[in-house]
Amino acid sequence: MEESGNKIKTPVFSNITSEDLEHIYEPAEDSFLLIDALEKDLHLIRERKPSLCLEVGSGSGVVITALGTVLGPSCVYMSTDINPRACHTTREVGRLNGVDIEAVCTDLVSGVIDKDVGSVDILLFNPPYVVTPSDEVGRGNLEHTWAGGEHGREVMDRLFPSVDSLLSPQGLFYLLVLKENDPADIELVMAKFGYSCSCVITRRTGPENLSVLRFSRQR
């Protein structure tokens, strides 16, 4: 796949089977919204000259792959997912699109944070954001991908304290959120860690009002 100006093409993911989709999150409107946000911010991202990009909870791998197709081999691409099948799928989607992705099977950034402390330039997270009872969080492979517990925040709230340790001084953190997740409160939480927030893009998809937030260190 070739870069065309500041456009990001949707990666090829024809390797994903119907059996895979019984275990991993199918690329959907939220995935494509996050890709659109990265496309909108591509000039800013390139200005930061990233050398390491990490997606937490990569699922199918289409988002980190999409970014890799435009930034090219000058970057190292990593992903994490608690689901081994998702890690395999992420590697394969990357391979199909000419992007080499190191996919680590782990919970959020466990085992990655110590190795890559202060070196992640672009951090991506499309978290389980759906408001559900807490006992549905992490119940099974598919529930891992969407069940967010109270306010849809139980998984993303666990990542926030690790962001500052992961990001490089010029790092950017992109987070997809639902209106019910209370983005204004998320902004306040991240401000306590020293981050400013910008809303890159917002879109209504069916009943969901989704946004992609960008966090960077306050200067």
pTM given for the model: 0.94
Q: Are strands 120-125 and 52-56 parallel, antiparallel or unpaired?
A: parallel
At 137, is the pLDDT very low, low, confident or very high (cuts 50, 70, 90)?
confident
pLDDT in tens, 75-129: 999 999 999 999 999 999 999 999 999 999 999 999 898 887 899 999 999 999 8
Record the tokens describing residue 172, joined without a space. Answer: 């950017």
The full set of domains in the chain, from first to last, is 20-217 (3.40.50.150)
Tell me the C-alpha distance between 45 and 171, whole Å: 9
